[in-house]
Structure 1
């Protein structure tokens, strides 16, 4: 029963933070440490619950994905936007996957990522760039590629995929809302592929006895992830990105006190 409660808590944390610019990795490491839920089993569990967050976006943006999967150059966003945004991080991620897992997944590197990611968000917000893409369908191919380049930063744990890509979108001339929605959609193939690769690497940690634990965590991540995405899109219309940056700085301080 205690493990199931931990699974629910971790699933809720993943669902809440995966698409917010606050670093889900940092939160999972911190919460996992506090709950005593660490080790190889915990790493496999974290990979599984990421699929819950991916499913949440698939459900919420189902029509958009169906449009993209037609592989037509439709007016507005199409498969080329997704491809351009995926390529940079996919190539670098595949080349450096083992290095990233071996050297960057630790408390000190996550701490650095939290701080540097927060600084990037403040810089983006204060850049005062002209907004040329108010809605997601207004995003150009060039802007999609720039956002994809910024997604490379998310390979550093703690930087945050959404924080990096939303900042990149703002610097490229998109609105916060458009950048956030585009980030959610692009995250699905990236996160899905990365999670599948991690799952293969951690397959030794999968056992039938842990199936209830993993399913509970996945369901919690899915439900909370849906609520978080809808709420965040609405927040992006009126909330400054810097507020999330300040939260990251506070989290980094807590992280340093508890973990280091």
Structure 2
């Protein structure tokens, strides 16, 4: 993987991680078009650059993270279901990760859901994610379990979960951002540990790609989060639904045309 390719992937990660469009689906298309082989470092890179996107949430919402301990308790409660299911069904999840077909289908199905979610949950009464109860946090965490299916999108599942608990679109999106921090940090730490446990190291060019990739992801994610909040608060999720359907359709068409796709 070249530095240019690393920057492109970092831009895609920063743009898609917090939007309900599945960063996995976009990585599949990007790596296929650029011909990037799924080497151990490339697999590490696509996870480790999440550190930059995590930092963007901490910078934009640092006041929330300094407000109270109950904020952290709710994040822990919401993170428990996916952590448990991820541990218990890790082999099954790994099997799904090898199927671009699953990603294409879930992108389309999730897109259809987003076309109607604004109509289904149109009477929100919680405009601040700090006001949710622990029980509501747990329910949102259960929705996050759906994101263990590749292509579902962690952001989409938790946002929809928040809307089922009567959060406004803005509040649901923000809680989704906050919940991403422990989940993505944990995934990155495990990926790094696995990389080195397997006897892999890092060359100087690879270290540079990780540093630059995280920096690019950080800047792009800040722009994406700010833009997303404004768009979704005003217009809802229908445009993202159509976009998911298009991206999922592209993956399915590529598969039907005999194109070999890899999930990193």
Shift of 1:129: 4.6
Structure 2 equivalent of residue 240 of structure 1: 236
Deviation of 1:259 after TM superposition, in Å, equals: 4.2
- Determine the structure 2 residue equivalent to 1:212: 208
- For residues 177 and 123 of structure 1, do their structure 2 counterparts lie closer, same or farther at Cα, with a shift above 3 Å needed? same
When the two structures are aligned, how many residues end up with a matched partner?
252
Provide the secondary structure at the position in 2 that maps to 1:126: helix
3-state SS of paired residue (1:12): helix
Mapping for residues 105-184 of structure 1, pairs under 5 Å: 105-184=98-177
TM-score, normalisation: structure 2: 0.89
CA distance in 2, matches of 1:107, 1:199: 24
* Equivalence for 1:50: 50
1:35 aligns with 2:31: no
Which residue of 1 is the match for residue 223 of structure 2? Answer: 227
In structure 1, runs of 5+ residues without a counterpart are none
Unpaired segments of 5 or more residues in structure 2? 257-264
Verify the 8 A CA contact 2:158 2:176 in the aligned structure 1: yes
CA deviations on 1:200-221 (whole Å, 9 max, x unpaired) are 2233454123111222211111
RMSD: 1.8
Residue in 1 that maps onto 2:3: 4
Superposed structure 1 runs of 4+ greater than 6 Å apart: none
CA distance in structure 2 between the partners assigned to 1:141 and 1:85 by the alignment: 8
Local SS of the residue matching 1:236: helix
Alpha-carbon offset, residue 20 of structure 1: 0.3
Mean Cα displacement is larger for which, 31-40 or 104-113?
104-113
Give the Cα–Cα distance (whole angstroms) in 2 for the partners of residues 114 and 205 of structure 1.
33
